[in-house]
Amino acid sequence: MKTLAKLPVTIVTGFLGSGKTTLLRHMLDNAQGRRIAVIVNEFGELGIDGEILKQCAIGCTEEEASGRVYELANGCLCCTVQEEFFPVMRELVARRGDLDHILIETSGLALPKPLVQAFQWPEIRSACTVDAVITVVDSPAVAAGTFAAFPEQVDAQRKLDPNLDHESPLHELFADQLSSADLVILNKTDLIDPADLAKVRLEVAEELPPAVKVIEASSGRLPLDVLLGLGAGSEEHIDSRHSHHDHHHDGDDDHDDHDHDAFDSISIELPQADESLLLDALTQLVVKHGILRVKGFAAIPNKPMRLLIQGVGTRFDKHFDRKWGADEARTTRLVLIGQELDAAQLEAQLRAALSV
pLDDT tens string 222-249? 888 889 988 888 888 776 666 555 544 3
209 pLDDT band, cuts 50/70/90, is confident
For position 2, what pLDDT does the model report?
Answer: 45
Which is higher by pLDDT, 209 or 36? 36
User: Looking at residues 55-60, what average pLDDT do you find?
Assistant: 51
Q: Does residue 102 fall inside a structural domain?
A: yes
Please state, in angstroms and rounded to a whole number, the distance separating the CA atoms of residues 119 and 78: 12
Are 152 and 67 within one domain?
A: yes
Which is higher by pLDDT, 7 or 260? 7
Q: Does residue 251 fall inside a structural domain?
A: no
Q: Does residue 347 fall inside a structural domain?
A: yes
Are 165 and 270 within one domain?
A: no
Which is higher by pLDDT, 121 or 76? 121
Q: Does residue 138 fall inside a structural domain?
A: yes
Which is higher by pLDDT, 213 or 253? 213
Q: Does residue 246 fall inside a structural domain?
A: no
Are 205 and 297 within one domain?
A: no
Q: What is the signed CA dihedral for 221, 50, 33, 311, rounded to 10 degrees? A: 50
User: Looking at residues 110-132, what average pLDDT do you find?
Assistant: 83
Look at the chain and report how many structural domains it folds into: 2
* Pairing outcome for strands 213-216 and 263-270: unpaired
Are 345 and 217 within one domain?
A: no
185 pLDDT band, cuts 50/70/90, is very high
For position 247, what pLDDT does the model report?
Answer: 46
pLDDT tens string 124-133? 888 899 999 9
CATH of the domain at 298: 3.30.1220.10
Q: In the predicted model, is pLDDT for residue 355 greater than 70? A: yes
* Pairing outcome for strands 315-323 and 305-312: antiparallel
Are 303 and 183 within one domain?
A: no
Burial class (CB in 10 A: 0-12, 13-18, 19+), 346: buried
What single-letter DSSP state applies at residue 81?
I
Q: How many CA atoms lie within 13 A of 247 on its CB side?
A: 3
Q: Which helix (H) or strand (E) covers residue 105, if one does?
A: strand 101-105
Are 53 and 89 within one domain?
A: yes
pLDDT tens string 274-315? 999 999 999 888 888 878 778 888 999 999 999 988 787 777
Are 156 and 28 within one domain?
A: yes
Are 199 and 123 within one domain?
A: yes
Domain of 283?
262-352
What does pTM read for this prediction?
0.67
For position 252, what pLDDT does the model report?
Answer: 38
User: Which H, E and C letters describe 143-204, residue by residue?
Assistant: HHCCCCCCHHHHHHHHHHCCCCCCCCCHHHHHHHHHHCCCEEEEECHHHCCHHHHHHHHHHH
Are 197 and 274 within one domain?
A: no
Phi and psi angles of residue 257, each rounded to the nearest 5 degrees, phi first: -105, 20
Q: In the predicted model, is pLDDT for residue 8 greater than 90? A: yes
Q: In the predicted model, is pLDDT for residue 121 greater than 90? A: no
For position 282, what pLDDT does the model report?
Answer: 92
Please state, in angstroms and rounded to a whole number, the distance separating the CA atoms of residues 125 and 50: 26
Mean pLDDT highest for which of 108-117, 130-139, 307-316, 329-338?
Answer: 130-139
